[in-house]
């Protein structure tokens, strides 16, 4: 009878059983979080590579722009040097000025040395 009662009674689970299930659930959640982190890191690495490539492309384009600016700057310096020499020593520089000087160079030169200054220099000679 005792045996029959023991078989028929509802068996309850103890606290230890639930602690084990909770630990397993935590372990599963931690493993999932680690997997998500690995996925994010892998995706992030691709993003970093892409950003690095974009930054290198920007640097190349900036370097090309600087080279172009240097060339224009050299042309401006050359034009200013010639204009200054003509303004200060008109007899020495007998070669005629070009009929159509480069408009961009003239614009930059006028921004650096206003025409009034050159006119004043010509008048002083």
What's the pLDDT score for residue 106? Answer: 64
Residue 1 lies in a domain: no
Residue 10 lies in a domain: no
d(CA 33, CA 27): 10
* φ, ψ for residue 113, nearest 5 deg: -125, 105
pTM of the predicted model as reported, rounded to 2 decimal places = 0.35
What's the pLDDT score for residue 97? Answer: 53
Residue 9 lies in a domain: no
Residue 78 lies in a domain: yes
Which residue, 97, 99, 71, 70, is CA-closest to 84?
Answer: 97
Residue 8 lies in a domain: no
Residues of the chain with pLDDT under 70: 1-19, 44-46, 87-125
Residue 6 lies in a domain: no
What's the pLDDT score for residue 105? Answer: 63
For residue 67, what are the domain limits? Answer: 15-124
What's the pLDDT score for residue 125? Answer: 44
Q: How many domains does the chain have?
A: 1
Token digits of residue 83: 């204009």
- The structure tokens 């370097």 sit at 63
Residue 4 lies in a domain: no
Contact 67, 93 (CB under 8 A): no
* Length of the chain counted residue by residue: 125
Compute the radius of gyration of the chain from its Cα atoms.
42
């Amino acid at each position: 009878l005792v045996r029959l009662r023991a078989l028929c009674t509802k068996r309850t689970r103890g606290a230890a059983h639930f602690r084990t299930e909770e630990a397993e659930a935590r372990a599963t959640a931690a493993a999932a979080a680690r997997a998500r982190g690995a996925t994010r890191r892998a995706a992030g690495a691709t993003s970093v590579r892409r950003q690095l490539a974009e930054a290198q492309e920007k640097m190349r384009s900036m370097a090309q722009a600087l080279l172009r600016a240097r060339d224009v700057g050299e042309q401006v310096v050359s034009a200013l040097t010639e204009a200054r020499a003509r303004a200060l020593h008109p007899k020495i520089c007998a070669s005629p000025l070009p009929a159509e000087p480069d408009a961009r160079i003239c614009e930059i030169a006028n921004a650096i040395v206003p025409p009034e200054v050159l006119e004043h220099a010509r008048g002083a000679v």
